[in-house]
Structure 1
Amino acid sequence: MPVHRIKSILAASLVASTALFGPTATAQSSQPAPRYVKAEAANVRGGPGVSNSIVTVLNLGTEVSIYVTKGDWARISGPGQPEKWIYAPL
C-alpha cells in the first residue's frame, strides 16, 4: 500500500475520531435567562424560607435571574452578592 494512501487513511481516522469523541460540553451563559415576577408583590428574603427576614419586595413584572433553586425557593442573587431568595412560584 502506498505511503500517501496510508496517510490519507490515518488523517480520515483522526477526523472521524475527533468528531465522535471530541468535546461534547456546550457553553453555558454565566448569566441565567431572565424571569419575571408573576405576583402583585413578592417578598424577597435573606434565605430560603418564610422564617428568614424580608430584605425587599418586588413588584409584578420585575425581571429577576435565578441562580440556584432549593425546593420551592430560588436564589436571585449572583455569586458573591448578599443572598436574596424568592418563593419560586411567584
Structure 2
Amino acid sequence: MTAKTVHLNTTTDVVAYIAATTAQAIANKGVTGHNLETAVHRMTSDRVLSQIRAAYIRRAQAGQHRSTAITRIAVGLITEYRTHYGI
C-alpha cells in the first residue's frame, strides 16, 4: 500500500472527503445491502452533507485540528449510519 497526499483546500473539499471516505468505510465492511453505491448515495444526500458541513465548521471555529475534526466527524457518521440502518 502506498500513502497518498490529499489536498483539502476548502470546506467543500473537506465535506466531500468526509462523505466519500465514510461511505468507503461502510462499504468495506461487506454488509449485505450496504455496498459502495448505496453508502455513497446516503452519505451525499443534502441532509447528510449539510450535517457534515455544519459539524466541520463548528469544529474549525473551535480551533480543532483539521485531521482530528475529520476523524471525529467520520466516526460519528458511521455510528449514526449503523444505528439508523440497524447494522
Same fold (TM over 0.5): no
Q: TM-score interval w.r.t. the shorter chain?
A: under 0.3
Q: Which of these two proteins has the greater Rg computed from alpha carbons? A: 1
TM-score, normalised relative to structure 1? 0.24
TM-score, normalised relative to structure 2? 0.25
More strand by share: 1
More helix by share: 2
- Higher relative contact order at CA 8 Å, sep ≥6: structure 1 or structure 2? 2
